């Protein structure tokens, strides 16, 4: 019904504003509503409803290509810009190791879950070309290691069909939110879990003190000059990444055509990879101070615009067509949980590190602080810091996971 992209963009921003406005209201109804329905789910779901009803069309709109090509790389730069290696080291080795164990759990869980379900339903998890199930599932790896930005990057690299991607988005969001609910419940009984793990939780107080005194923890009002600097850093890095990718991808395609199988001849792969590397590199310079004036907040704006444009490509009718794919998602998350909990038990790490490390992988910067704040509001930055590490690793580790799932699928 509505084909004008300017009008569609206005609708998407209206949806995002409505979701976040109602989520911030203190009214009891909204607090209860969002206790069961996460805002992130609605940011996917509502544009998907409009697309499924024919009000807007993700297939004919040019919004997603523009957002993914320009806002996504800038978003990755803004998220990794605030990565503080020293602060991560101050969290202690256990926190980082548990978080990395969660990453390993996702990387192992995807191929293993696909292999196990394939034994039961080989035809359902088949497909050829863009409909090959592994292509859609590979994007979940990016989401569950980093976040929505990494997922979109892998979507462009592996190119699943729109119908398949609609299915895996539902698997991704619903499975992740169920696991998040379990982690928040665990936060309420953390002392009992710590006793079972024989973990010393006194280190959490030290982490809290250190984070409260980080310079980046103090947000200041951004001036016009600050916003211009943010724009220059984000879009300057994006432009340079595109410029370099224009040379690297065609050269590899001509010189080493066999690399196409590993998506290394994809221009978009090099754009997001180079943008991430640039963001990490800038985090060692004075540019890191831009985090204090809103780098990650601007990144979140871009991220949710990206989420909404992904949602408008979702056909909710396609979700019911392949219920077996949900079995892969649940089994995948179970393997991730088993790996991270076993690691925490071996290291005698507090459950706080387990919960936040897991959510930093699976939920990213949008929800990891929520889980951290369930233990203590001052600890929310721990979730942000670990999620930033996930953003830095998400595209690369998700890409390797996707290749492993391709190998399993083709055997």
Average pLDDT over the chain, rounded to an integer: 83
Which pLDDT score, from 0 to 100, does residue 268 have? 77
Q: Cα–Cα distance between 63 and 91 in angstroms, integer?
A: 40
pLDDT in tens, 294-344: 888 898 888 888 888 877 877 666 656 677 788 888 899 999 999 999 999
The rounded distance, in Å, linking the Cα atoms of 312 and 169 is 12
- Give residue 85's pLDDT: 66
Q: What is the pLDDT of residue 12?
A: 95
To 5 degrees, how large is the angle CA 163–CA 165–CA 171?
115
For 223, the 3-state DSSP assignment is coil
pLDDT over 60 at 86, yes or no: yes
pLDDT of residue 369: 62
Place of tokens 């989520």: 23
In the predicted model, is pLDDT for residue 177 greater than 80? no
> What does the DSSP 8-state code read for residue 4?
-
pTM score, two decimals?
0.68
User: How far is the CA of 208 from the CAs of 224, 259, 352, 380, in angstroms?
Assistant: 32, 46, 12, 9
* CA distance linking residue 188 with residue 162, whole number of Å: 40
Highest mean pLDDT among 5-14, 25-34, 44-53, 266-275: 5-14
Mean pLDDT for 45-71 is 87
Which among 299, 331, 44 has a CA at the least distance from the CA of 167? 44
The full DSSP string for 44-55 is: HHHHHHHHHTTS
């Amino acid at each position: 019904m509505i084909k004008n992209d300017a009008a569609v963009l206005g609708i998407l921003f209206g949806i995002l504003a409505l979701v976040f406005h109602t989520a911030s209201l203190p009214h009891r109804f909204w607090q209860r509503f969002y206790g069961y329905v996460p805002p992130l789910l609605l940011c996917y779901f509502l544009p998907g409803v409009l697309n499924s009803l024919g009000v807007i069309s993700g297939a004919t709109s040019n919004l997603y290509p523009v957002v993914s090509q320009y806002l996504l790389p800038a978003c990755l730069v803004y998220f990794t810009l605030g990565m503080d290696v020293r602060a991560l080291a101050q969290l202690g080795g256990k926190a980082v190791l548990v978080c990395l164990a969660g990453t390993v759990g996702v990387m192992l869980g995807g191929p293993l879950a696909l292999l196990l379900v394939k034994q039961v339903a080989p035809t359902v998890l088949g497909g050829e070309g863009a409909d090959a199930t592994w292509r859609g599932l590979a994007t979940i790896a990016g989401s569950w290691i980093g976040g929505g930005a990494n997922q979109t990057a892998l979507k462009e690299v592996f190119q699943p069909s729109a119908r398949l991607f609609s299915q895996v988005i539902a698997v991704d969001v619903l499975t992740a939110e169920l696991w998040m609910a379990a982690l928040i419940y665990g936060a309420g009984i953390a002392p009992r879990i710590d006793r079972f793990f024989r973990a010393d939780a006194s280190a959490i107080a030290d982490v809290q003190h250190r984070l409260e005194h980080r310079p980046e923890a103090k947000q200041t009002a951004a001036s016009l000059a600050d916003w211009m600097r943010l724009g220059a850093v984000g879009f300057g890095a994006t432009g340079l990444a595109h410029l370099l990718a224009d040379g690297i991808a065609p050269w590899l395609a001509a010189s080493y055509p066999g690399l196409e199988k590993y998506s290394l001849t994809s221009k978009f792969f090099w754009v997001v990879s180079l943008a991430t590397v640039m963001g990490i590199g800038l985090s060692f310079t004075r540019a890191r101070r831009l985090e204090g004036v809103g780098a990650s907040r601007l990144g979140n704006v871009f991220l949710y615009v990206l989420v909404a444009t992904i949602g408008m490509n979702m056909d909710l009718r396609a979700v019911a067509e392949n219920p077996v794919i949900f079995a892969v998602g649940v089994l995948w998350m179970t393997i991730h949980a088993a790996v991270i909990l076993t690691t925490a038990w071996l290291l005698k790490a507090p459950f706080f590190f387990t919960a936040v490390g897991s959510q930093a992988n699976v939920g990213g910067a949008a929800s990891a602080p929520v889980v951290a704040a369930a233990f203590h509001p001052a600890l929310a930055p721990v979730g942000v810091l670990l999620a930033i590490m996930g953003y830095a690793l998400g595209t690369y580790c998700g890409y390797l996971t996707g290749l492993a799932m391709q190998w399993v699928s083709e055997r």
